[in-house]
Amino acid sequence: MSNKKEFVKDITNIDEDFAQWYTDIVLKAELADYTTVKGFISIRPYGYEIWEHIQNYADKKFKEHGVKNVSMPVLIPENLLNKEKDHVEGFAPEVAWVTIGGGEELEERLCVRPTSETVFSTMYSKWLSSWRDLPFLYNQWCSVLRWEKETRPFLRSREFLWQEGHTVHETAEEAQKFTLAMLDVYADVIENLLAIPVLKGQKTKKEQFAGAEATYTVETLMHDGRALQGGTSHYFGQNFTKPFDVKFQNKNGEQEYAYQTSWGISTRLIGAVIMAHGDNRGLKLPPYVAPIQVVIVPIAQQKEGVLETAEKLKSTLSEKFRVELDARDNYTVGYKFNDWEMKGVPIRVEMGPKEIERGEVVVTRRDTLEKMPVKITELEAKLENLMREIHQSMFEACKKRRDEKTTIAYNMEELEKNLNNNQGYVKTMWCGAKECEDKVKEITGAPSRCMPFEQEHLSDTCVCCGKKADKMVVWGRQY
């Protein structure tokens, strides 16, 4: 108990000040730190490795769909940004401009990319000539810059890391199919790597990407009941191919404009992991994305044979798992336990003279804090099973909380009451009018999250105006 008290002093209580708790985790678990440039963060090695595991998992899935990685310039001429009207209007408030280069004023100002549809489209217009060239399935891993007014590490920083896929197809059907295939990849990443359940659906016109014909989303719900958009996939149709002249000679020998998609996930997902799983002891990492999956903490390591046995065990386990041996001699065992719990390492292995004599170790799960003795000869198999169990347990805990924070409202009074009393997702019927959508957000502070693919008929009337409604929408306050 003393360890817990000693630890809790270091972190703001999750239920008293969620925002401060989040900041404490980011800093104390050494995921990221603030820089001297306002709104910009430095991602530390521990945080960056989480991103690397997300990146590697997603990149493999992209490549299974035939996607190839490319690199595009970070600077975009103003004339390109202005070619698609809705797109430039959507991003104008967030754009940073370069006006001087090499000490001289530029003839045309250049924007630091907030996204790269325009530059990809320009290159596609050069590279595409025949239907035989299609599809172009390209993606880039890069950073983008958006001049956000309110920033928070990982969730809304002015520069962030992401991937942006941009594909061109021969037909609308093929492009639409690929848009949804990428959404499924994002659901896979978030559920099977990060252990967070997703809500899949289509964004309303008001909430869709600037320049898109349709935007699809995977939404996640955090510990405090606020939603976080996990990833989006956009079907553009010919909204970019026409202004950028991305056309090809079709099978009939005629010139035709291609169909386009765009899709992205970012380091916001690290924020999602923190807020969906963390607790008052700190970070809680799902095993498959954790930089360190197993930490070995020797007990009484100064005694003969303890450290040597621990080092041998680390060498054996490292063939299958990401393992750290904490042999620091200037910290107490209690401090080490707290430190690794803070950093969210899924499994801790303790071993001292008594355990070694018995040929066993003590294994502790970070998610439940359950301890269990395990024979050293059976440890490798036990850890493999534990990884699966911990992932599933963390996923189910998130899903249970999401279900408990999902309610139904039939009128505005209920909608507001539900959000205030049990913040989370609220399902309602909606007539489709932007005026009603605007009014809900104005009164409750909750924009629409999506129109779920799995529709339910809750009633015949719109939650806002009472007119006929046949579409279910989920609302929620957001990050």
Q: Mind listing the pLDDT tens digit for each residue in 207-260?
A: 999 889 999 999 999 999 999 999 999 999 999 999 999 999 999 999 999 999
The residues with which 217 forms a beta bridge, in sequence order, are: 201, 232
Q: Which fold has domain 294-401?
A: Rossmann fold (3.40.50)
d(CA 331, CA 348): 16
From the list 431, 466, 471, the residue with the least C-alpha distance to 455 is 471
- The per-residue pLDDT for range 280-293, each reduced to its tens digit, is 999 999 999 999 99
Answer whether residue 4 shows pLDDT above 80: no
Average pLDDT over residues 380-405: 98
CATH hierarchy code of domain 2-277 = 3.30.930.10
- The per-residue pLDDT for range 9-41, each reduced to its tens digit, is 579 999 999 999 999 999 999 999 999 999 999
Q: Which fold has domain 407-475?
A: Translation Initiation Factor IF3 (3.30.110)
Average pLDDT over residues 163-183: 98
Answer whether residue 85 shows pLDDT above 70: no
Q: Do domains 2-277 and 294-401 have the same CATH topology?
A: no
Helices (H), 235-324: 268-277, 306-317
**Averaged pLDDT of the chain:** 95
Write down the pLDDT at residue 125.
97
What is the domain partition of the chain in residue ranges?
2-277, 294-401, 407-475
Q: Which two tokens stand for residue 81?
A: 């940004």
State the pLDDT confidence band at 479, using cuts at 50, 70 and 90.
very high
Answer whether residue 5 shows pLDDT above 60: no
Answer whether residue 8 shows pLDDT above 60: no
Average pLDDT over residues 356-368: 96
Helices (H), 146-299: 172-192, 268-277
Write down the pLDDT at residue 410.
97
Answer whether residue 3 shows pLDDT above 60: no
Write down the pLDDT at residue 9.
52
Q: Are 311 and 319 in contact (CB under 8 A)?
A: no
